[in-house]
Amino acid sequence: MPSLTPMLDRRMALQLVASTPLLASCSPPREEIIPYVDMPEGLVAGEPARFATTLPLGGYGRGFLGVTVDGRPVKVEGNRLHPFSLGATDVFAEAEVLSLYDPDRSKTVLRKGEIATWQDFAGAWGGILRDARVGLVTGRILSPTKSAQIEALRLHYPRLSWFRYEPVHDDAARAGSRLAFGKVLNALPRWGEIDCIVCLGADPLGAGPQQIHVGRAFSSRRAGPARQALHVAESAWSLTGAAADFRIAMAPDQVAEVGRAIANHFGAQLGVPELDARGRAFAQRAARALDAAHGRVLVLAGNAMPPALHAVCHWLDRMLAAPVSYMDSLDTVEDDHAAMLAALADALHDRRLDALIILDANPVYDAPDAFHMAQAIDNAPFSVHVGLHRDETAQAVQWHLPLSHVLESWGDARAPDGTASLIQPLIRPLYDTRTGDEILALIAGGPQRDSYDLTRAQWRPGAAGDFERWWRQALNQGVISGSTAPVLSPPSPKAPFLPRPAARRGLSLLLEPHPSLWDGRFSNNAWLQECPAPFTKEVWGNAVQVAPQDADRLGIRNGDCVEMTVERRTTSAAVSVMPGQAPGTLCAMLGGGRSRGRIGAGVGIRYIELAGRALARRIDQVLLAKAGAGPPLRSTQNHTRLDGRAEDLFPIAADNPVVARATEEPPSMLAKPPRGDYAWAMVVDTDACIGCNACVIACQAENNVPVVGPEEVSQGRDMHWLRVDTYTIQQGDIGRRGFQPVPCMHCELAPCEPVCPVEASVHDHEGLNVQVYNRCIGTRFCEANCPYKVRRFNWFAYAGSQAYGGEAPALKAQHNPDVSVRGRGVMEKCNYCLQRISRARRTAEKQNRTIAEGEVVTACQAACPTHAIHFGDLNHADSNVTRLRQDRRHYTLLEELNTRPRTTYLKRLYPGEDETDER
């Protein structure tokens, strides 16, 4: 990784000094204005335009709006009409614009590493005969066009074998569904109708294609009169566990025993559960809660749980008449993911494939080493990899074909409920790339067709009425109406059966999808690498999380290096000690240890190495030993730590707290802030926040916030204008976890202002504490005097001088043209998305009116899937923020400092504990 230290010797430095007068005598360069030859109708130069499109994650489509300015995609926003966006976004969607401009993207066809052309490839592929044994490797395909193309490909190559696998798979749920119903069904809870949820190792609020959908239902129930009760039994912290009302940490096998106890309560004969007193109390309370809410409940098992437990949950859901819609599986492939990966490896090792096409998958990286995937691929006489990057798999094949980014492609995808939507390009392909559809068409040997025609041809027969009208409407709305999968009548699951867990020694390692890198496919995205993980606040790495009891036993401290051994496979990793994790359990995130890509290579650990010959989500019998030097633990959590103040900073309330409010404002020696037509304020509901980090990446995309890189983070520096703090509040034995997004507080009596010698930190008439970049001389007094530590200093020209920050010209195209790109030596911070306020004000004033409530939506607020962030005008008596400031849960951060912040909070609620509480 490049260092920020300038590579200058004395001679070079003197030469540069000598050249400065010459440079200074030059006037600024002439600028050109290049208008269109023929301007597209309806386009206004320099104004943002929005287009509905679809971004897949693990194959599932989520509909969003892409924002382009003068033809450049700069931002992704939510699409209200799409059921899996609902107007909000997640980290993966927000970061796609950076992936589009990634300078590491593959730009040309390669034959054995040498530059070749598409014609060369087409010629070579022409040598593959129709009776050849062709192997096609893909991820999960939920695109109607691609599915149809693969069917057509089968007709063309009758001996085609299709291997479909996702590293983040749902094999346990699939097997559980087969146990219960005899086939794989798609069980989709109707989240809004549920009063009581019991999660057995499941993480519905965690990162994934359903996060926004579930999060919105969850938070709207929390905001409403009837709060959903959330019981979570889990081994390591998940976002669902942090949001839970009742949570218990226990080993994975014990979590299954809780399922046994609950099932027994409802009449299953599964034998006596092996639970301790805490577990019994938890199971009893959960069972009683389920009993009380019959018909409005849900029991859910996680992906690391045994299939039998999933079957038990299906049985319980039917017994309790849970509001779950059952549909046929959208994934038409019968076999499970892990099985198909193993079949692929076997087929290659046995030389049973004549040609291999790997379409947007990376088996060399994400298959366990025991498959020896690189050597296996070498056995294929003809091997092709199609991908965005020249990744690990691209090195192992003969042909590499560059894939178009999804923002450059036409296509379609289905959401988890079957809702189809179109993928609409925001820009023409930047390089000589093709889409997956086009490449499937190419290998099927038909005439050369582009993905626009292919997608239209797919949908033309089914469209009702005039196709062009139908097509325009589908593009405009971003959703194809009436495409939701048909709901089946609830099937009756078989009587449950839950085998006893085998006795195990050693620790259990749970492998979770990374909250921002997913399975590693986003590892070359610097925003996502520097997005702090929810609980550890770790960036640029994926340390193994160890329970404090295990750490004490082994003499390990936070940041130490450990060696993990399973059978004879060994890997070493940094340790993050995680209070509240079950003893005997380790937890690690996938997505580290890539060996290709200038951003992602060498960052983190590839834990799948430990998995043997399975694509396991849980690895048992792990031996842990302290090791010497190893990868560092880079975390932003302690950058701004205030010891022993958690209860003050993150107060929690049992229920409807009554707080005595000071009616009189205490005196202050600071000048009164000016009053204007608007008084902007933000209220953050910590009860709704699930810690998903969508706001952090949305802020980064909107405000041109640079990435600082791993070395700088290790020095205690970072640039995020909005951080999400995580708190542990100890209540007796129970550790409560909560999240608190912290942007600038915009104090009315701002401590940063009087200390600035050049008045770069000033108030405007609308209550914003603004930072004037061109006045700032970088004394950093304001940062020192800010009690909330929300100011960020550009120690180096982060935004353009290093690999992470966008030294590549292509990355400059991502910048939001409405926001300055700050230079070195300048202080910066959250400005409540001033550019959005300004835009709303100009729009309103052009129409001779004032800004209406809800017209200004900050980037973080727009991204938030749970509506935890509220923004508005305090001068407006019935605005949302004015109302929330009267809420009984309302509080101010560090109120005793009398800074009178405009950003305030609502307390996290915990329902009253009953007598069965484990305290």
Partner 1 sequence: MSQIFRPGANSIAVAVLVLLLILPPVAIALTYVFWASPYATNQYLTIEQTVPFSHAHHVGDIGLDCRMCHTGVEKAAFAGLPSTHICMTCHSRIWTNAAMLAPVRASYASNKPLHWQRVNRLPDYVFFDHSIHVAKGVGCSTCHGPVDKMAIMRQQKPLTMGWCLQCHRHPENYVRPRDKVFDMSWTPPQDQKRKGMELIRRYLIHTNHLTDCSTCHR
Instruction: Give me the sheet containing 48-57, strands edge to edge.
Output: 48-57, 60-69, 72-78
Q: Which residues contact 389 (CB under 8 A, 6 or more apart)?
A: 102, 104, 105, 106, 524, 596, 597
Which residue, 30 or 112, has its beta carbon nearer to partner 1? Answer: 30
List the interface residues with partner 1, window 504-533 (CB under 8 A): none
- Should residue 770 be labelled a site residue for partner 1 when binding is judged by CB under 8 A? yes
Q: Closer to partner 1 at the Cβ: 38 or 664?
A: 38
- Given candidates 6, 24, 26, 32, which one binds partner 1 under the rule CB under 8 A? 32
Interacting span for partner 1 (CB under 8 A) from 128-136, 254-262, 289-297, 843-851: 843-851
Q: Hey, which residues between 795 and 824 contact partner 1 (CB under 8 A)?
A: 818-820
Residue among 213, 150, 138 nearest 416 (CA): 213
Instruction: State the nearest-atom distance from the C-beta of 858 to partner 1, in Å.
Output: 13
Nearer to partner 1, 242 or 768 (CB): 768
In the bound state with partner 1, the residue whose beta carbon lies nearer, of 37 and 503, is 37
By CB under 8 A, residue 857 contacts partner 1 = no
> Is residue 585 within 8 Å of 510, Cβ to Cβ?
yes
Does residue 848 interact with partner 1 by CB under 8 A? yes
Q: Considering beta carbons, is residue 160 or 770 the nearer one to partner 1?
A: 770
- The only residue of 325, 395, 785, 835 in contact with partner 1, by rule CB under 8 A: 835
In the complex with partner 1, which residue's Cβ is closer, 467 or 773? 773
> Which DSSP string corresponds to 675-715?
--S--EEEEEETTT-----HHHHHHHHHTTPPP--HHHHHT
Q: For residues 749-768, which are near partner 1 according to CB under 8 A?
A: 762, 764-766, 768
In the numeric block, which tokens belong to residue 624? Answer: 């842990």
Among 10, 11, 505, 846, the residue binding partner 1 under the rule CB under 8 A is 846
Stretch 589-608 residues interacting with partner 1 (CB under 8 A): none
Shorter beta-carbon distance to partner 1: residue 834 or 884: 834
Nearer to partner 1, 43 or 457 (CB): 43
Contacts of 588 (CB under 8 A, 6+ apart): 509, 510, 511, 512, 542, 543, 544, 545, 573, 605, 607
On whether the CB atoms of residues 881 and 896 are closer than 8 A, the answer is no
Measured at the alpha carbon of residue 870, what is the angle toward residues 867 and 873, in degrees to the nearest 5? 155
User: Contact region for partner 1 (CB under 8 A) — 1-9, 436-444, 838-846, 877-885?
Assistant: 838-846
Nearer to partner 1 among residue 230 and residue 768 (C-beta): 768
Token pair of 512, please? Answer: 């979770």
**Footprint of partner 1 on residues 665-694 (CB under 8 A)?**
674, 676-677
Among 9, 38, 664, 733, binds partner 1 (CB under 8 A): 38
List 125, 452, 773, 795, residue binding partner 1 (CB under 8 A):
773
The binder of partner 1 chosen from 448, 492, 838, 916 (CB under 8 A): 838
- Between CA 617 and CA 58 the distance in angstroms is 16
Residue 44 interacts with partner 1 (CB under 8 A)?
yes
Shortest Cβ distance from residue 25 to partner 1 (Å)?
12
**Closest distance between partner 1 and the C-beta of residue 761, in Å?**
10
To the nearest whole angstrom, how small is the minimum distance from the Cβ of residue 752 to partner 1? Answer: 14
Instruction: Identify which of residues 124 and 762 has a Cβ nearer to partner 1 in the complex.
Output: 762
CB atoms within 10 A of CB 129: 10
Q: Distances from the Cα of 309 to the Cαs of 203, 208, 254, 316, 896, in angstroms?
A: 15, 22, 12, 10, 51
Among 1, 4, 772, 803, binds partner 1 (CB under 8 A): 772
Question: For partner 1, which is the closer residue by CB, 154 or 839?
Answer: 839
CB of residue 22 to partner 1, shortest distance in Å: 18
| 561-566/420-423 β-pairing | unpaired
Specify the residue, 271 or 674, whose C-beta has the smaller distance to partner 1: 674
What is the phi/psi pair of residue 394, to 5°?
Answer: -60, -25
Smallest gap, in angstroms, from Cβ of residue 838 to partner 1?
7
CB 597 within 8 A of CB 540: no
Smallest distance, partner 1 to C-beta of residue 335, A: 51
Element (H or E) spanning 185, and its range? strand 185-189
First to last CA, the chain: 49
Of residues 47, 664, 733, 878, which one binds partner 1 by CB under 8 A? 47
What are 512's strand-pairing partners? 589
Least spacing, CB of residue 910 vs partner 1, in Å:
40
| Out of 842, 852, 854, 914, the residue judged to bind partner 1 by CB under 8 A | 842
Beta carbon of residue 42, minimum distance to partner 1 (angstroms, whole number): 11
To the nearest whole angstrom, how small is the minimum distance from the Cβ of residue 759 to partner 1? 9
Residue 831 in the binding site for partner 1 (CB under 8 A): yes
> Per the structure block, which two tokens stand in for 284?
């009893």
Q: DSSP letter at 41? A: T
CB of 79 to partner 1, least distance (A): 24
> Tokens standing for 142?
């939920």
CB of 833 to partner 1, least distance (A): 9
Q: Which two tokens stand for residue 808?
A: 């590549």
Q: Which is nearer to partner 1, 449 or 839 (CB)?
A: 839
CB nearer to partner 1: pick between 221 and 763: 763
Specify the stretch interacting with partner 1 by CB under 8 A; choose among 207-215, 469-477, 487-495, 831-839.
831-839
Number of residues that bind partner 1 (CB under 8 A): 38
User: Tokens for 771?
Assistant: 């930072």
- Tally the residues of the chain: 919
Q: How far is CA 897 from the centre of its chain?
A: 35
Name residues contacting partner 1, limited to 560-589 (CB under 8 A): none
In the complex with partner 1, the residue whose CB is nearer, 291 or 845, is 845
Token pair recorded at residue 99: 């992936």
* Cβ distance to partner 1 smaller for residue 92 or 680: 680
DSSP 313-379: HHHHHHHTT--EEEEE-S----S-HHHHHHHHHHHHHTT--SEEEEES--HHHHS-GGG-HHHHHHT
Q: Among 777, 817, 825, which residue's Cα sits nearest to residue 801? A: 825
Q: How far is CA 370 from CA 43, 285, 375, 601, in A?
A: 55, 44, 11, 21
Q: Distance (Å, rounded) from C-alpha 207 to C-alpha 238?
A: 10
Q: Is 834 in the site for partner 1 (CB under 8 A)?
A: yes
Contacts of 73 (CB under 8 A, 6+ apart): 66, 67, 97, 100, 407, 426, 427, 814
36 touches partner 1 (CB under 8 A) = yes
CA distance 46 to 43: 9
Decide whether 11 or 846 has the Cβ nearer to partner 1: 846
28 binds partner 1 (CB under 8 A): yes
Residue number, 404 or 700, with CB nearest to partner 1: 700
- Which of 6, 21, 46, 757 lies at the binding interface for partner 1 (CB under 8 A)? 46
Q: How far is the CB of 19 from partner 1 (least distance, A)?
A: 22
**DSSP-assigned letter for residue 803:** T
52 contacts partner 1 (rule: CB under 8 A): no
Q: Give the whole-angstrom CA distance, residue 894 versus residue 898.
A: 8
Binding of partner 1 at residue 874 (CB under 8 A)? Answer: no
Binding site for partner 1 (CB under 8 A): 28, 30-39, 44-47, 674, 676-677, 762, 764-766, 768, 770, 772-774, 818-820, 831, 834-835, 838, 842, 845-846, 848
